Amino acid sequence: MVEPRSNTVPSPPDTIEYAGFWLRVWAGAVDICIEALGALLLTLALDFLLRRFGRGFGIDPWDSKVFIGVSFILILAVGSWLYCAFFESSAWRATPGKRLLGLQVISADGGRVSFGKATERHLMKFLSLFCLTIGFMMSGWTQRRQALHDMPCDCLVIRVPVKPFTLLRR
């Protein structure tokens, strides 16, 4: 007799330690600082170019400032998405902030998260944010320490031993 196939995802082993709320907050703070600094540097470079060459193309200084403000927002939005999606779907399975604190993002079956899933997870953070940030706080009391944006993607943030931080592979 053949048993019917189960559509449930096998649960991860009991040895996994889920990352709690405060570790995730500090990792997120590090990542936000890196993202904002990157966006600021790119925007400053763009501002320098517009100041230097903008008048030659007939760009008014006031229009230049408005353009720089909008550019910062767009660079930060797109940059943070690419930052999170590329790092979380990489072999590191973590952004530099998460890696610094010994955290990794994995799928429910323990595998690496795809770029698409990491993108979905990042976009779902807006849901967590717009629910008065309660979606982020949920990682403090849910069974697998999942925030609201982890649940639709079936992702877990786990603790791993902290390795020496390096940007280069050996």
- Over residues 8-37, the mean pLDDT reads 82
Give one DSSP letter per residue of 7-39, joined into a string.
-SPPPPPTT-EE--HHHHHHHHHHHHHHHHHHH
**Domain span including residue 92:** 17-159
Residue 8 buriedness (CB in 10 A; 0-12 / 13-18 / 19+):
exposed
Whether the per-residue pLDDT at 142 is higher than 90: the answer is: no
Residue 106 lies in a domain: yes
Evaluated on CA atoms 61, 62, 66, 67, the torsion sign reads: negative
Residue 64 lies in a domain: yes
pLDDT digit string, tens, across residues 110-141: 899 999 999 999 999 998 888 888 888 888 89
- Over residues 96-117, the mean pLDDT reads 94
- The rounded distance, in Å, linking the Cα atoms of 99 and 109 is 20
% of residues, the chain, pLDDT over 90: 58
Residue 152 lies in a domain: yes
- Put simply, whether the predicted model's pTM sits higher than 0.95 gets the answer no
Number of separate domains in the chain: 1
Cβ atoms of 116 and 125 closer than 8 Å: no
